[in-house]
């Protein structure tokens, strides 16, 4: 039943693309409000939908091989995204259709990919296993979670690091805007930034696959989290003293996003 959350969340970008077609961009306040509403709905739903994905992954792929599978899948995704970066650069450049048509295309394409990923579940065969017909109530489930948190210091540390590093996501949408508005990059540079982020993800995926098998998945968490911290630090340095820094260095913020 958790997969039903995907039916709610994954079409949200298509809904926003339709809103742009209908002219919501002519009312900026309404457009921004609608975007945040749909974006939040999508990610709340995906936070539930993703549980199913990781559960099936854990059942079908041995722990010793998961790092390689995830690493190479990240590299493949990144390779495909290079073409997307070129599309973004074209759409936002002087020869592109401009606002809001370009963004309508982006949201429609992203929404279409989300729906394709949902359809891919039809081809997954979940390994058979005994199923407990009795589902715990929410109070029982809460007590189980509390017991795990009290009994496992390693799990508590993992959650703390994940939550703290996740706050980095609050700024991701503003790195590009800061580069354009404050540092003077052309809007078409967003495509280049996207490609930098993508190539970084490809290289990190291949590297992490090797690190996972040699040193364990905990080492990947440490490396990725450390690199992710450097991106906001570089952006902050450009905010404080932009004239003292080499402008292409700002691209490191997108490298850190790609690695994380």
Contact (Cβ atoms closer than 8 angstroms) between residue 200 and residue 254: yes
Mean of per-residue pLDDT scores for the chain: 82
DSSP tag of 244 = G
Q: Are 258 and 198 in contact (CB under 8 A)?
A: yes
The pTM score is 0.63
Neighbours of 54 (CB within 10 A): 10
Q: How confident is the model at residue 69 (pLDDT cuts 50, 70, 90)?
A: confident
pLDDT digit string (tens) for 144-196? 888 988 888 888 888 888 788 777 777 777 888 888 888 888 887 777 887 78
The confidence score (pLDDT) of residue 138 equals: 77
Domain residue ranges of the chain, discontinuous segments joined by +: 63-96+153-260
Identify the band that residue 19 occupies on the pLDDT scale cut at 50, 70 and 90: very high
Q: What share of the chain in percent tops pLDDT 90? A: 10
């Amino acid at each position: 039943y958790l997969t039903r959350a995907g039916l709610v969340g994954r079409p949200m970008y298509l809904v926003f693309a339709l809103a742009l077609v209908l002219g919501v961009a002519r009312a900026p306040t309404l457009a921004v409000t609608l975007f945040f509403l749909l974006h939040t709905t999508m990610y709340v739903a995906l936070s539930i939908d993703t549980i199913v994905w990781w559960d099936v992954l854990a059942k079908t792929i041995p722990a010793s091989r998961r790092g390689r599978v995830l690493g190479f899948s990240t590299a493949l995704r990144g390779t495909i995204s290079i073409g997307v970066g070129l599309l973004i650069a074209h759409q936002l450049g002087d020869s592109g259709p401009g606002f809001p048509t370009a963004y309508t295309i982006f949201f429609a394409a992203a929404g279409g990919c989300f729906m394709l990923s949902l359809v891919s579940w039809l081809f997954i065969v979940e390994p058979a296993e005994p199923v407990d017909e009795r589902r715990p109530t929410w109070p029982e489930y809460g007590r189980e979670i509390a017991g795990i948190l009290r009994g496992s210091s390693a799990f508590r540390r993992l959650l703390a690091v994940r939550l703290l590093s996740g706050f980095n996501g609050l700024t991701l949408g503003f790195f590009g805007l800061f580069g354009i508005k404050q540092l003077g990059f052309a809007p078409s540079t967003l495509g280049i930034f996207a490609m930098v982020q993508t190539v970084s993800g490809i290289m990190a995926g291949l590297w992490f696959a090797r690190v996972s098998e040699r040193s364990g998945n905990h080492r990947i968490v440490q490396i990725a989290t450390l690199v992710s911290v450097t991106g906001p630090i570089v952006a902050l340095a450009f905010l404080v003293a932009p004239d003292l820094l080499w402008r292409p260095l700002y691209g490191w913020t997108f490298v850190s996003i790609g690695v994380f």
